[in-house]
Amino acid sequence: MKTQIANSYAKLLVLSLITLMTSCKETMKQEDNLLLQKWEGPYGGVPAFDQMNVSDIQAAVEKGMELNLSEIEAIANSSEAATFENTIAAMERSGAELNRVFSYYGIMSSNMSSPEFRDIQAILAPKLSEFSSSISQNKALFNRIKSVYDASLETPLEADQQRVVELTYKGFEMRGAELNAAKKERYAAIDKELSTLYNTFSDNVLHDEENYVTFLKADQLDGLSDGFIKSAAAIASEKGKENLFAITNTRSSMDPFLTYSTNRALRKQVWTNYYSRGDNGDEYDNNNLIAQILKLRRERVEILGYKNYAEWRLQDRMAKTPENALALMEAVWPASIARVHEEVADMQAVANSNGDTITIEPWDYRFYAEKVRVAKYDLNSDEVKQYLQLDKLRDAMFYVAGRLFNYEFTPVPEKSVPVFQEDVKVWEVTDKASGVHIGLWYLDPYARQGKRSGAWATTYRSHTTFDGKKTVLASNNSNFVKPAAGQALLVSWDDATTFFHEFGHALHFFSSNVKYPTLNGGVRDYTEFQSQLLERWLSTDEVINQFLVHHETGAVIPQKLVAKIKKAATFNQGFDTTEYLASALMDMKLHLADPENIDIDAFEKQTLADLKMPTELPMRHRTPHFGHVFSGEGYATAYYGYMWADVLTADAAEAFQEAPAGFYDKEVAQRLVKYLFEPRNSMDPAEAYKMFRGRDAKIEALMRDRGFPVN
């Protein structure tokens, strides 16, 4: 606010602030009764999602932080000698109110964002960073943690307690708990600044997703399916564009358009919109933000004595070092780009034979790949889609969960469980044999304004047996284009695979068998393994023959078409592997590079040139919209983890293939649940995998799985 404000305006401002403070107090009272309340009702208590309001969230988060800090201070300043129970267990018990508030906050951020919420999020981001730093840098608290940790080295605790102590100690150590006061202050300041940058990065990407919409006329729809056209018309109507057809700036809309539209100029426009998110040279451009993020991350880990962010981040991952992660990626990269060159040659041949006087460009790849698929394998993706109904795929996932985990999914009565949007549906999960309640599964399937792109899984409450058994509240979230009324939602094989993948995360949540909340966490390059493995059940005969039925006739998918699908299983692996690996390599190389004066656009171009990246396709996530890495730190220098997990996945799949009853073999399934799903992070992932497989995973399984040469 300018300093020249007149005295009368200054008085008015003071009065307004008093009114605002009074309003905040009233909001807090309302807040205490809603967002901070203990969850009530059936199924062990459920969130009041139908009552949440954006106006309540800031006060709720702030109050939750206040309550949690009070608990932490009591632990840190206890006069009793530090023990597992009064220090570590007490920390595990703390923060219940704040955790409940974060369930609402997460939905407002990911599923129901709005300009109003984004303003609040911008205010809260630095406050949440300060809150986190005040705990991780609490000297008295860390001294107590270290005391328990040191004692456990002399006299080990029970296995799960020992694991919690080690993870807690390591987490505090990595966050600068042993730094001197001046370095702690700088470390916390960096965290605070980064939190604001991450928030702005996400907002910028969401802005471009919401605002770069391509509207088509009726004469621009050649090649598109009736279902897609009806959905595009409905979306355009919602946006006030009657008699037009909307192609939104999300993968679920972009991908089918690029695959089937015969209008090359429009394919280029839609492609450009999607891959230019965060990179349009305007106030929402993310390139400078990324440069700042990289510089701050490097400074922060240098304070801790590390050379670069990757070295610091990977020390507690399966890969352990950036060199190990790079070695895996670089072992696969040559075969991957070699396959791309083969795929492009096949596509160019088709284009030439059709008399299309073009050279394959990135906006052509999906279009001509589909034509090659038809020519090589007589396999039409749109024909396959007629048998891939989302509702049937959901039932197929329930079937697999019943066979492997003994779970049963039952729809809960309408309105008996509050939901945050009318399209969200809820199922109760029980054990088929005992009928014991395990949790609730929420499904939010459709794209909408304010919902972030992609697909993901999350929990509103995790399982523990600490202080009484808590059942799981888990959700799967997708961005399928909502079908027109009365129409079946048909999806591609890739989308069906992603649907199974995210459900794998949910099953990992439901199958948890741990006592302490910390053990429900995971190692980033391992937690994708379980979900990637579940994708394999989509193509099992049991699923295909029961759930892949034609949306109009109900006829089971013909075996002839199934044979084509399986024959083409490694088709387009060059594209799939290369677009992913390029992003994973970029993530790692950006964090190993000197961030001083880095030009993000130039670095991206030079790195791709050095890798000999085929020009006919882009990275899966270009740097300016790489939310996995720059909207937070969950996947920073860890995007390689999908491929690390892929090695485990391919190797574990071979264990089922070798079993007498294949993918439904009871003995292998029991080992799967016991060693790979139930333990979560209660044991070292590498040891858990060895207990399942009897040995370490082998990269050769991955190469065979993708149809690449095995040396």
Q: Distance between CA atoms of 337 and 349, rounded to whole angstroms? A: 18
- Please report the pLDDT score of residue 106 as a whole number: 95
Q: What is the DSSP letter of 25?
A: H
Q: Distance between CA atoms of 551 and 554, rounded to whole angstroms? A: 6
Q: 640 is written with which tokens?
A: 């390689």
- Please report the pLDDT score of residue 2 as a whole number: 34
- Please report the pLDDT score of residue 12 as a whole number: 32
Strands 456-461 and 407-411: unpaired
Query: What is the identity of the amino acid at 679?
Result: P
Q: For residues 123-135, give the mean pLDDT.
A: 95
List, as one string, the DSSP characters of 667-704. HHHHHIIIIIITTTTSS-HHHHHHHHHSS---HHHHHH
Query: Directed axis angle between helix 600-610 and helix 287-303, to 10°?
Result: 80
Q: Distance between CA atoms of 433 and 407, rounded to whole angstroms? A: 9
Q: Distance between CA atoms of 685 and 646, rounded to whole angstroms? A: 14
pLDDT of 271 strictly over 60: yes
Q: Distance between CA atoms of 565 and 571, rounded to whole angstroms? A: 9
Query: Directed axis angle between helix 641-658 and helix 685-693, to 10°?
Result: 20
Q: Distance between CA atoms of 423 and 416, rounded to whole angstroms? A: 15
Q: Distance between CA atoms of 412 and 409, rounded to whole angstroms? A: 9
Query: What is the identity of the amino acid at 588?
Result: M
In whole numbers, what is the pLDDT of the chain averaged over residues?
Answer: 93
Categorize the per-residue pLDDT at 34 as very low, low, confident or very high, splitting at 50, 70 and 90.
low
Kind and range of the H or E element at 297?
A: helix 287-303
- Return the residue matching tokens 């009114």: 19
Q: How far is CA 144 from the centre of its chain?
A: 34
- 680-699, pLDDT tens digit by residue? 999 999 999 999 999 999 99
- Residue percentage of the chain with pLDDT more than 70: 95
169: left (phi over 0), alpha (psi -120 to 50) or beta: alpha
Q: For residues 450-467, give the mean pLDDT.
A: 93
Domains, in order of start, for the chain: 33-136+138-178 (1.20.1050.40), 212-275 (no CATH)
